[in-house]
Structure 1
Amino acid sequence: MTDTPAPRHLPNRLDNPLRSTILSWESLLIIVAVVIFIINSFASPYFLNAYSLSDLTFNFTEKALIALAMALLIIAGEIDLSVAAIIALASTLMGFALQFGADTPMLVAIGVGTGIVCGAFNGFLVTGLKLPSIVVTIGTMSLFRGISFIILGDQSYKGYPASFAWFGQGYVYWVISFELVLFLVMAVLYYVLLHRTNFGRRVYAIGNNDIAAQFSGVRVARTKFILFCLTGVMSGIAAVLLTARLGSTRPSIAEGFELEAITMVVLGGVSILGGAGSILGVVLAALIVGLVTFGLGLLNVPGIVMTIFTGSLLIVVIALPILFRQWRNRRPA
């Protein structure tokens, strides 16, 4: 009788949590953020200043708040292109109410409430009528901003009270703005919601295979409806912050916000096809986008160049994973 050789154990590099952490997308984003921070510090003598760094946070927090909710929506396999238009409509309705003497609590309630209603409207069209979310939100993007132009035309609303302006211009402590604190709190809440609750697991399941999730007992339509409402809520909050920071309302407010929010989400490692992504990645991506745009602003780079950069970055981060998978599949076994 011959001894049977013991089977060899083939080590799996993913068994090492330290290695998998080092090789993660979030670790790469941290390195990129540090490199951009160093470049900015050498490129402009005004960058390494406490008040300049505080201004940096105003540069991305409003869009990043939207990106937190957008991340969950994209992980679930849907998208909302109307977020900037929701901001415009919410801001317009707040300004309209201001003309009739609405106080700060009422203005905040109108802004957030408008976001909820718009998000619920998008959710109903997608989950109730089974329409594609990209088509629906392109339509509501024009609808919501069109209503703002009908109400305001080429005019603007001004004269917001100082107590309302604090939401967009106030500081909690020294140079730590209220917007930054709110964003960090929301980031923690969304992290817990996505990564530590059954709701988050349902979001991942829907994004990977919504039919299988449906047969597993997941209420797919209700979950997606909630996600659209959350995106509307965050758009309403962003409308309050942006309107308070600018101190005025115009129908063209927040143009391009949807592009930057989606860029933050995809750059953060969220798969545009759904089913994968993390809140930590989105937070780091928001910081990177803020660092880049703020650094370019300190160098007096025109806004159109920043738009070109954002669009190019979105194309690159979507194309790279696809190209990498194609290259890996071509490699010999």
Structure 2
Amino acid sequence: MSLEFHDLFSLKAMNTLGFDAVAERFVQIQSPGEVEELHAELKRSGDPLLLIGGGSNLVLAAQIPGIVAQLTIRGCEIETMDQDLVRVTLGGGENWHATVSSLLDQGIYGLENLALIPGNVGAAPVQNIGAYGVEVKDRIEAVEVYDWQEERVYWLDNQACEFGYRDSRFKREGGRYLILRVSFLLSRTPATVTTYAPLNTELSPNEQKDPRAVYRTVCRTRRDKLPDPEQIGNAGSFFKNPVVSQADYERLKAAYPGLVAYPDRAGFKLAAGWLIDHCGWKGRQMGNVGVHDRQALVLVNLGGGDRGQLERLAGAIQADVRETYGVELEPEPKFYP
């Protein structure tokens, strides 16, 4: 077997929260052929498997049993479909933000609203990442997977991925699929999305039509509000924005006129950060973890934090929001094991 396994391998640098975590066995996957080798080893050993990319949406325990595999498959193929439409196929191990930036430099548009989101390309469809009015499902054509159950590689088109808000088939059927590559349909003609309030208000009418101006504004806004994982451990937005019915929205709006919410197909999407902030959590600390002082939606590791401390903090926030607003907050990151 060509795979190189490492015993008792530290994952501290491989999760953006910076928690001390040790994998019983660790391996990197650099090609589809190595996926098949890994599957053979899993069947032989019976070990559980955790797949990781950039570790940006993950809350780890101190000890990780079995095998942790990091996908590092690279590659970027660009195919011009017609005068405007471009198909871009990316390896799952490519860095997300670096890819967004590189495509923009090449005059390929459509991902600029999703700039500066941490993690790798292979993780983007799992969570159906989204920001500033765009979800990645809006740009994905198909996803190439290795199916652990069927033991084969194949493509799933956009509809088969069953995308939802911060959700997908890959998330709901965790452990079945390994995402190898993702195919996007993008454009050489700018078609910016600036309906989201922070962009609409900060950009001039001419800038709203310029993908590079949108990109710069998104990056500046994210840097102003969200901490850099290299500087302070975090997993990005920790809670999903809850969706409520129109009746519940009207009830809450009457009681809290400053409530921040946006129309959604299922009703109204409430700004979870606003709910948490107005419960007084912004900047608060519990043990070695806390709520970021500029963005209440982000929970941070202040140094020496661990999963238990984070779970207690998240639970206290959820209870407070539930009692105050009658709204349930659901975490975005995956907890493992």
Q: TM-score, normalised by structure 1?
A: 0.24
> Would you tell me which structure has more strand in proportion to its own residues?
2
Q: For the pair shown, which has the larger CA radius of gyration, 1 or 2?
A: 1
> Would you tell me which structure has more helix in proportion to its own residues?
1
Q: TM-score, normalised by structure 2?
A: 0.24
